[in-house]
Amino acid sequence: MLAKPGIQTISAYQGGRPVEEVQRELGLADAIKLASNENPLGPSKHALDAMADAATSVNFYPDGNAFYLRNAVAESHGVEPEQLLFGNGSSEVLQILGQTYIAPGDHIVFPQQSFVVYSLMGAIFDARTTTPPMKADTYDLRAIAAAVTDETKLVLIANPNNPTGTYVTKAQLDAFFDAIPSSPLVVLDEAYFEYVDRHDYPDGLDYVRAGRNVIVTRTFSKAYGLAGLRVGYGVASVDVVEMMNRARPPFNVNALAQAAALAALEDVAHVDRSREVNAAGMDYLTSALSGLGVAYVPSVANFLLVHLARDGRSVTEALTRRGVIVRPMQAYAYPHSVRVTVGTAAQNERFISALGEVLAEIPEAS
Ligand SMILES: Cc1ncc(COP(=O)(O)O)c(C=O)c1O
């Protein structure tokens, strides 16, 4: 009982189950993982080559300031290199934010049914949290603005949101910033930014450039296909980055990850192809789900929240037995839903065919 009170209230983060683990446990040969919103096309070939080159120097510590990656990302985003903070995944950027800004009892705001790491952060740093409800599976920015006070330290907004795949528009975000005091730091978590293709979707970097008290987080884990390497970053004012750098662990982004992320950033064709495959897969999945009479939340990201009117865990287990790994959504207070990542055409077809069987096997919850 020596652990901090907040730690005692939570369970460890549960990721999607690895393919190898499921295959080993169930004696399957060809399971597919559609559980963690990873890129089904794999990494860029250029990233693999860059890693092989960098591997010969791993007797040295990595560049703790990620010089080449920093300059390339700064140039591609039109910001100063000093406005960037790199992390071992954008999850670590969130963790460093907590370490830098949240003292016990500080007030933070994020909605219910958003990325589960936010509530873990609240507990780990012993924050006071307010979690306004969502509206129609979407962030209700008015409710969030109403919960923000002069004392609020952090507001967390995933845009698009995980697990719903919904987004807030530029007009909504503008109105939100007009409605809140300038004091809290607003986190715009844009892990799925590269997938969104909507004219009214805001680019969080515009708010950083306009001098708002904002940090945008992005990642190489999704459209760039490098989830296993763990590289993400935050973009904010030089002052915010300078403070966060004090809490950043030394050498937090490893040398292979830096080399691969730089190559992946430059491989625009791979990201374009990833977007195309995702858009085609999303079209297929949504019409196939409708064909099965299944409800889902329309998504602008690379995953779908699927409402099944059945216990989500039972459905997940039955799909896993058929070699299709998805994510149950109890932890997000959607007990009758699963989240599925858009895969390749063959993977999507396999998911739909397995789901059809499972729906016939498991009766609807009363
Ligand atoms: C909304 C959101 N933010 C952040 C992350 C963290 O991604 P990573 O730590 O791999 O950059 C995820 C991963 O699923 C996510 O869904």
- Per residue of the chain (366 residues), give pLDDT as tens: 899 989 999 999 888 889 999 899 999 999 999 999 999 999 999 999 999 999 999 999 999 999 999 999 999 999 999 999 999 999 999 999 999 999 999 999 999 899 999 999 999 999 999 999 999 999 999 999 999 999 999 999 999 999 999 999 999 999 999 999 999 999 999 999 999 999 999 999 999 999 999 999 999 999 999 999 999 999 999 999 999 999 999 999 999 999 999 999 999 999 999 999 999 999 999 999 999 999 999 999 999 999 999 999 999 999 999 999 999 999 899 999 999 999 999 999 999 999 999 999 999 987
Protein residue closest via CA to atom 3 of ligand 1: 191
**Is residue 341 exposed (0-12), middle (13-18) or buried (19+ Cβ within 10 Å)?**
buried
231 CA to middle of ligand 1, Å? Answer: 10
The b/e string for 140-179 (b: 16+ C-beta within 10 A; e otherwise) is bbebbbebbeeebbbbbbbbbbbbbbbbbebebbeebbee
Assigned domain for 319 exists? yes
pLDDT at residue 14 in the model: 85
What CA–CA distance (Å, rounded) separates 141 from 144?
Answer: 5
Same domain? 23 vs 110: no
pLDDT of residue 365: 87
What is the number of structural domains in the chain? 2
Query: Do both 106 and 215 map to the same domain?
Result: yes
Give the number of the atom of ligand 1 that is nearest the alpha carbon of residue 94. Answer: 4
Which residues line the pocket of ligand 1, CB cutoff 6 A?
37, 89-91, 115, 158, 162, 189, 191, 219, 221, 227, 232
> Do 206 and 325 sit in the same domain of this protein?
no
Its sign, for the CA torsion 67, 73, 76, 78, is negative
What's phi and psi for 330, nearest 5 deg? -55, -45
Last residue of a domain, one of 225, 243, 267: 267
Do 319 and 185 fall within a single domain? no
Q: Which domain-ending residue is among 267, 298, 315? A: 267
Q: Do 217 and 283 share a domain, yes or no?
A: no
DSSP run (H or E) holding 45: helix 45-55
One domain for residues 135 and 214:
yes
DSSP element (H, E) containing 24: helix 19-26
Q: Hey, which of 95, 157, 219 would you mutate to test ligand 1's pocket, going by the most ligand atoms within 8 Å of its Cβ?
A: 219
Tell me, yes or no, whether 208 lies in a domain: yes
Are 226 and 330 found together in one domain? Answer: no
Q: Which atom of ligand 1 is nearest to the CA of 231?
A: 11
Q: Which atom of ligand 1 is nearest to the CA of 219?
A: 11
Between CA 117 and CA 122 the distance in angstroms is 9
30, 338 in Cβ contact below 8 A?
Answer: no
Which pLDDT value is given to residue 366? Answer: 75
Residue 91 alpha carbon to ligand 1 centre in Å: 6
Are residues 152 and 189 located together in one domain of the fold? yes
**Same-domain check for residues 242 and 278:** no
CATH number reported for the structural domain that contains residue 174 in this entry: 3.40.640.10
Testing ligand 1's pocket by substitution, the residue of 221, 302, 340 carrying the most ligand atoms inside 8 A of its CB is 221
Of 267, 283, 316, which residue sits at a domain end? 267
In a domain, 121, yes or no: yes
Looking at the domain assignment, is residue 366 inside a domain? no
Q: State in Å: Cα 29 to ligand 1 middle.
A: 29
Q: Could you tell me the residue range of the domain that residue 147 belongs to?
A: 45-267
What pLDDT is recorded for position 112? 87
pLDDT of residue 1: 86
Residues 160 and 66 in one domain: yes
- Quote the ligand 1 centre to 90 CA distance (angstroms): 6
User: Are 20 and 127 members of one domain?
Assistant: no
Q: Which atom of ligand 1 is nearest to the CA of 37?
A: 14
User: What is the 171 CA–ligand 1 centroid distance (Å)?
Assistant: 25
**Alpha-carbon span 85 to 87, nearest angstrom:** 7
SS3 279: helix
Together in a domain, 228 and 273: no
In a domain, 92, yes or no: yes
CATH number at residue 351: 3.90.1150.10
